[in-house]
Structure 1
Amino acid sequence: MPKTIRITGIVQGVGFRPFIHRLATELKLNGYVRNLGGSEVEIYVEEDDIDLFLELIMRRKPPPARIDEITVLSSRSIGIKGFHIMESGREMKKPSMIPPDFGICEDCLREALNKGDRRYEYAFNSCAWCGPRYSMMFTVPYDRDNTSMRDFPLCDNCLSEYNDPGNLRRFHAEGISCPQCGPVLWLEDERGRVITERPIETAAELIDSGKVVAVKGIGGYHIAALATDDEVVSELRKRKNRPQKPFALMALDLNVASSIVEIEGVEKLLTGPERPIILLKKKRSRVSDLVAPGLNYLGVMLPYSALHYLLLEKTKDKFLIMTSGNLRDLPMCRDEESARRELRGIVDYFLHHNRRIVNRVDDSVLRITNGRITMIRRGRGYAPMWFELPSKLDRPVVALGAELQNAGAIAFDDKVIMTQFIGDTDVYENLLELDRAIKFLAGAYKVELSDALCVVDMHPEYKSRILSEGFRDVLEVQHHHAHLLSVAGERKLKKDRIVGIAVDGIGYGADGTYWGGEVLLIEGGDLRRIGGLKHQPMPGGDLATLYPVRMLIGIMSTFMTDDEICSFLKEKNLYKHLPNEMKEAELALRQARGSIRTSSLGRFLDSVSALLGICYKRTYEGEPAMKLESFAENGRLLDEIEIKGSDVLDTSYLMKSIIESDARKEDLAYTVIYQLGRGLARIALKEENEVVFLSGGAAVNSILVRGIEDELKREKVNLLLNERVPAGDGGIALGQIMAVLMRG
């Protein structure tokens, strides 16, 4: 009896239909293969015996393909002869993954570097196994007509390859093109004058001469500049209003990358199809100290398109700053008009191309946390691949995430599809991006938003909540509750009882105070705080986040008199790091007596960073604590510095101990972070459990994680932390959806 086979996973946009065609022809099967409207593939075969066919599908599938499920159904014969690739259907039988963008494969790069190949130095070379997917999709299924490649009809040579079953990488590969029929590049100066001759070579020469060039890439614009010239880096910081935040680097290949950072153990990740930025330990090199001031790490990625490779190859250094092309806090530019408008004054030249970027996708960022690969930002190469829930939802869900470094999600049945990294949704343009991304995913997966439950963060002032106004049913989920459940969500775990540690900047607590250093117990849908850091005054609210000396004043006010604090600030010259110096310090002291209080681990680490003279002003998210971690890596554990408290860790005592100690600052920094980890773990161990969850923005701090893990190991308790979604607010949406599932 004939069979209909439906395959879900990443099976569109990866050369899967041509692969099935070749395999079925080899086995002399009759039937067809086609894409369907849920990003799945449908195969029909006239033959009854398909065991070998199914076995070979699993064994030989294209490199970027991922098979999640194969369903086989009996069918009626339609009398088809031979095997065919049929026109795509629009119906959705089973949902499947929208393919992410893939980095250029070795074969395509080899062609672009081969003088005898017709695609020599072609910046947009791709095949069935690599190239942009999600960033150029208007809708599903993944056909050329549904992507921005529809603007480029295939030439005779490319059409011949497209129709040739013997062409392994280009037979029915929807995104292919060549210099005769594909997108074109041009260089433009800030006045709009166009340079069409040798645009890549000219751009490289300009960069080498110290100019800054905006480069239109796969998911948006980058800003490219020399990373070895202090004057160039300093000027770029002024133009971009980015005084301290590190710049990412792009290196030509592993050899070049290994000359500036330690790459041992991450080579496959650097060269894989995702091509993320990875934060890696600096080596002594020609990289300017201004690229990542105060940090021991550089964010490095390898080229993920022929365009990037060809540009780097023609520069003298073979590596460049390659940072997001945007105005501060705004979305990355994705078209020529926005680039000209927003990047004028920042860049000197623009390297444009005429392929439309449909979905903005930022580079993904990973780091190594105490030996584990963890995610900081989930974008290109990963989004919008889905996560599977441990059981099915009763209805569709839309999760709006939190506020900073945000991503949203949609969910239906047992699937969660997170948006790519969006950014800070207290910025209107980013809020629009979140709305747009959610609507795209809902449309692709046939999710009726009018039927969906909307989940938001409990914080009443988060701007992401604005998007919930069009929904009939809205559920609030506490911030740290969602953090911990995101750990369960990425592992497909549904536990009746979860013990977890949530550590971050600030989240609105279930008791109306501001949390950020908590040990929590989750039982079913209920959340209980069982311990954490002592709540400390936060003089001036957000000002204490911006100026850590304010937070330090608030903490000192719990164990010192006003006169003692003022004398200490003068003795250490700390008052000079407030905009209005002693007047502001005295105001902060008065505010501390009646200010909001927070148990935030992030804010406590910020205050230690200021006390030790490491960072006095936060110019980007997490800066004081990040610089403290880098500084602490050269330190050792001091036994005399302890943290006291049973259920509540006395951070006032800890701060007093630091102030009174004459130990090396590096040792103090290391000890504080490590002991906070141990203290939180001790509280968690009071609730007998075989595993402890860890999440929140500070959960990527290696020293903190080491302290937690060392303490848990004494009792043979395992630690689980985020690895596939960000531990920070970029993973909150997944946890929000898990909260719906847990409530039943």
Structure 2
Amino acid sequence: GVGFRPFLYNLAQKYSLSGYVLNDTRGVDIEVEGEKEKIRLFLQDIHTKSPPLAVIEKVSLKELSPVGYSEFKIKSSRKEEDKFLPISPDISICDDCLKELFDPQNRRYRYPFINCTNCGPRFTIIEDIPYDRKRTTMSNFEMCPECQKEYDDPSNRRFHAQPNACWKCGPQVRILDKNGKLINCKDPISFTADLIKKGGIVAVKGIGGYHLACDATKGGVVALLRERKNRLEKPFALMMLDLNQVKKFCEVAPEEEHLLTSCRRPIVLLKRKGDYLPENIAPKNKYLGVMLPYTPLHYLLLSEVKIPLIMTSGNISEEPIAYRDKDALKKLGKIADAFLVHNRKIQIRVDDSVVRVVNKRTMILRRSRGYAPQPLILNFKAKKCVLATGAHLKNTFCFLRKNYGIVSHHIGDLENLAALSSLEEGIEHYKRIFYCEPQLVACDLHPNYLSTELAREYARKNSLPLVLVQHHYAHIVSLMAERGLNLSKKIIGVAFDGSGLGSDGTVWGGEFLIASCTDYKRVAHLRYVPLPGGEMAIKEPWRMAVSYIYDVLGDDCTHITCQILKNYVKSEKVDLVKNLVKRRINSPLTSSAGRLFDAVAAIVGIRGKISYEGQAAIELEMLSKERKESSYPFKINEQKDGFVVDTRPLINAILVERKKGVDVEVIATRFHWSLSYIILNVCELLRKYWGLNEVALSGGVFQNSLLVKQTVDLLTSSGFEVFLHKLLPPNDGGISLGQAVVGYHQLLVDSF
């Protein structure tokens, strides 16, 4: 789906070569005859002049006896069992198509589905492989003579472009009211633009699902969308027409500009510039999530409204993005005033990807549209196919197949049956298009995750071995596999996140591991504190403040705790939670770095309750300054099972500064430096004991750009080689690859 066969055809014409090219499920098969020197140049150009979207993994050559071909042909695709071909992600409209879209003399002028071999939908329209029109959701649209002529013409940019279409023969847009009734109008996109400018909210069908779009310049409209969607404070994504508009509202570094304009078109986190846009787009956040249009339809809409739009996932809170028309009308009818729809079926839902730039390098926060399902090339070849079902939050799944790690698009939080169904549908779709038949299933250690229950049932139904993989161990191995490290060689792994079931039955999240692909040892962790109320403590950070303050002051904590938390909760409730902590009632122990962030955020007065995951930690990061500060005190105690980081001196120092009225920004900044120094000091101890010098940083806490910058600088200055994620998120969205790799290697040890 990247224009490789047309490229080869034209290359063969250039060098007067005969033969053929065809797609099969192994890759691209080429046979050429001609002069030896011209064949050499042909092969050279394959490597140096291939289409920008093409990824050449390897080229195998075999010399054959001449057949006597009279011409060079593109043959029909060939399907072979037990073979598979990497599939291109959906890609943004190219410059050539964009120019034609706004050219009144072009026959596709303002056609919302213009595309060519260099751009357009791929993954979301594929029903099966090899990738040909008859196996896509475009099979219902028979090409008109003009489109067919382009499709058959080797010199044309649309030569063998499978979604090729125009006004005469392709998909069309319509506008519906919130009840699904057709609104008669001359131009549905212009109608939508007018409705948005008047303060309306419109559900817009895109490539991988529905967005909810509205005027981002009006705080009242944004507030209305929040109310209807029941999304109280979680930041909304924005879509802006072009770079000039983006630079009016945001600071844009060269690396960020490259990401914004890339063919992947992710949402990029950018620093706000001034207060030109309403605060309630991203409350208490100095970053905005911005993307440029990536479909012709988006460009047509944005060019008419001429203002930034909120462009957020079209879903009910905690459910997957809507992508089927009837489902969208049913679920979004109480949110949207109208629906801008089209009649090209979406085969599989895919959310927008989210990235940020840290230390001039890309950090992926959500890997989906534009990135998935492009496989990761691994440095080993699996003899069996493995399915890993991922984590509970930010779920992805992964197939391990030969030397590929096929990590899925973003599924989301598995909070309900709708999300579980999305996971099941995704697994079945990938099985079909990648020819994956699992012979082993891997999952998280937590028995009650829906992903674990799915894995257990899948393994039972298919009589397959099941491997349970500890959450933080999977984080580290995922990074090792992604970065191509020696998987049998041990590494220091630092896994900081919100939570994951530990092998001792407690809730881990501030972990230092010595890990390889076959085993791990927990060698250090943050000091345990109770998690009062279990899951409630995650949603109400003030509970973690009570727990940490009690850990420092014991029974004497009541007065100071009530004083600090008086804006969040009544003293009676503080006393109740203190007793839960004291008596260890419904209060499992946790070593979570994420919960430490929550406690500090509550103590310094940032937030007592959250409305979305990680909110307290994010707002603590937003208040921190990019300047050097001294660390708060902490202790590292050696125990029989390893080192324990005693955080009581740190919390006590913060309490003292809070009482003195020290600026919250100073406390937040010092806290970040304290965590960086904790990581440095523990890693230096582990280097001394284990002789290891490579450190892998993974887990959701390492989405924090300030913490990452400081920690990497400290570790590097101390002589460590530091590894961060490049191709997968550090959060739970990357964990499925680690599960698959660990599962495979563990069963190899058991003579799998």
1:72 aligned onto 2:72: no
In the other structure, the counterpart of 1:297 is 287
Q: Residues 316 and 31 from structure 1, CA distance in 2 versus in 1: closer, same or farther, beyond 3 angstroms?
A: closer
In the other structure, the counterpart of 2:12 is 24
| Pairing of 1:674-693 with structure 2 (within 5 A) | 674-688=673-687, 689-693=692-696
Deviation at 1:582, TM superposition (A): 3.0
Cα distance in 2 between the residues matched to 1:110 and 1:425 = 42
Amino acid at match of 2:5: R
Q: Secondary structure at the match of 2:500?
A: strand
Q: Secondary structure at the match of 1:273?
A: coil
CA contact under 8 A between 2:476 and 2:515: conserved in structure 1?
no
Q: Residues 570 and 149 from structure 1, CA distance in 2 versus in 1: closer, same or farther, beyond 3 angstroms?
A: same
CA contact under 8 A between 2:84 and 2:435: conserved in structure 1?
no
In the other structure, the counterpart of 1:566 is 558
Q: Secondary structure at the match of 1:395?
A: coil
CA contact under 8 A between 2:202 and 2:340: conserved in structure 1?
yes
Q: Find 1:732's aligned residue among 729, 732, 735.
A: 735
Q: Residues 709 and 63 from structure 1, CA distance in 2 versus in 1: closer, same or farther, beyond 3 angstroms?
A: closer
| Pairing of 1:248-327 with structure 2 (within 5 A) | 248-265=237-254, 266-317=256-307, 319-327=308-316
In the other structure, the counterpart of 1:720 is 723
Q: Residues 222 and 200 from structure 1, CA distance in 2 versus in 1: closer, same or farther, beyond 3 angstroms?
A: same
In the other structure, the counterpart of 2:426 is 437
CA contact under 8 A between 1:674 and 1:706: conserved in structure 2?
no
Deviation at 1:742, TM superposition (A): 4.5
1:641 aligned onto 2:637: no
Deviation at 1:432, TM superposition (A): 1.5
Deviation at 1:498, TM superposition (A): 1.0
Deviation at 1:95, TM superposition (A): 3.4
Instruction: Answer with 517-526 or 125-134: which moved more.
Output: 517-526
In the other structure, the counterpart of 1:8 is none
In the other structure, the counterpart of 1:177 is 165
Deviation at 1:583, TM superposition (A): 3.1
Amino acid at match of 2:694: V
TM-score (norm: length of structure 1): 0.94
1:525 aligned onto 2:518: yes
In the other structure, the counterpart of 1:9 is none
Q: Secondary structure at the match of 2:281?
A: coil
Deviation at 1:738, TM superposition (A): 2.4
Deviation at 1:523, TM superposition (A): 4.2
Q: Secondary structure at the match of 1:70?
A: coil
Cα distance in 1 between the residues matched to 2:605 and 2:145 = 66
| Pairing of 1:25-174 with structure 2 (within 5 A) | 25-38=13-26, 40-47=27-34, 49=36, 50-75=39-64, 77-91=66-80, 95-167=84-156, 169-174=157-162
Deviation at 1:370, TM superposition (A): 4.2
Amino acid at match of 2:147: C
In the other structure, the counterpart of 2:230 is 241
1:655 aligned onto 2:632: no
Q: Find 1:339's aligned residue among 328, 347, 359.
A: 328
In the other structure, the counterpart of 1:671 is 670
Cα distance in 2 between the residues matched to 1:396 and 1:453 = 7
CA contact under 8 A between 1:100 and 1:383: conserved in structure 2?
yes
Deviation at 1:78, TM superposition (A): 4.7
Q: Find 1:550's aligned residue among 543, 547, 565.
A: 543
Amino acid at match of 1:566: T
Deviation at 1:570, TM superposition (A): 3.4
Cα distance in 2 between the residues matched to 1:613 and 1:36 = 61
CA contact under 8 A between 2:375 and 2:405: conserved in structure 1?
yes
Cα distance in 2 between the residues matched to 1:613 and 1:706 = 25
In the other structure, the counterpart of 2:454 is 467
Cα distance in 1 between the residues matched to 2:592 and 2:154 = 60
Q: Secondary structure at the match of 2:356?
A: strand
1:513 aligned onto 2:502: no
In the other structure, the counterpart of 1:457 is 444
Q: Deviations over 1:398-429 (max 9, x none)?
A: 01111101100111211111110001123211
Q: Secondary structure at the match of 1:739?
A: helix
In the other structure, the counterpart of 2:640 is none
Amino acid at match of 1:665: V
Cα distance in 1 between the residues matched to 2:40 and 2:630 = 64
1:503 aligned onto 2:499: no
Q: Secondary structure at the match of 1:186?
A: strand
Q: Secondary structure at the match of 1:340?
A: helix
CA contact under 8 A between 1:162 and 1:170: conserved in structure 2?
yes
Cα distance in 2 between the residues matched to 1:619 and 1:58 = 50
Deviation at 1:96, TM superposition (A): 2.8
CA contact under 8 A between 2:367 and 2:729: conserved in structure 1?
yes
1:202 aligned onto 2:191: yes
Cα distance in 1 between the residues matched to 2:244 and 2:313 = 24
Amino acid at match of 1:676: L
Cα distance in 1 between the residues matched to 2:21 and 2:683 = 53
Cα distance in 2 between the residues matched to 1:640 and 1:133 = 50
Deviation at 1:79, TM superposition (A): 4.1
Deviation at 1:367, TM superposition (A): 1.2
In the other structure, the counterpart of 2:697 is 694
Q: Find 2:363's aligned residue among 374, 388, 397.
A: 374
Cα distance in 1 between the residues matched to 2:593 and 2:359 = 18
Cα distance in 1 between the residues matched to 2:631 and 2:379 = 46
CA contact under 8 A between 1:643 and 1:676: conserved in structure 2?
no
Cα distance in 2 between the residues matched to 1:301 and 1:55 = 37
Q: Deviations over 1:317-355 (max 9, x none)?
A: 2x1100000111111111210110000111111000000
Gaps of 5+ in 2: 638-642
Instruction: Answer with 180-189 or 683-692: which moved more.
Output: 683-692
CA contact under 8 A between 1:675 and 1:707: conserved in structure 2?
no
1:353 aligned onto 2:345: no
Deviation at 1:23, TM superposition (A): 1.0
Q: Secondary structure at the match of 1:499?
A: strand
In the other structure, the counterpart of 2:527 is 534
Cα distance in 2 between the residues matched to 1:192 and 1:443 = 33
Deviation at 1:156, TM superposition (A): 1.2
Q: Secondary structure at the match of 2:223?
A: helix
Cα distance in 2 between the residues matched to 1:687 and 1:121 = 62
Q: Secondary structure at the match of 2:620?
A: helix
CA contact under 8 A between 1:509 and 1:515: conserved in structure 2?
yes
Cα distance in 2 between the residues matched to 1:575 and 1:666 = 20
Q: Deviations over 1:145-198 (max 9, x none)?
A: 11111111111111111111221x111111111111111001111133323421
CA contact under 8 A between 2:377 and 2:405: conserved in structure 1?
yes
Aligned CA-pair RMSD: 1.6
CA contact under 8 A between 1:389 and 1:414: conserved in structure 2?
yes
Gaps of 5+ in 1: 1-12
Q: Find 1:187's aligned residue among 175, 181, 187.
A: 175
Deviation at 1:660, TM superposition (A): 0.6
User: What count of residue pairs does the alignment treat as equivalent?
Assistant: 722
Deviation at 1:533, TM superposition (A): 1.0
Deviation at 1:47, TM superposition (A): 4.2
Q: Residues 160 and 394 from structure 1, CA distance in 2 versus in 1: closer, same or farther, beyond 3 angstroms?
A: closer
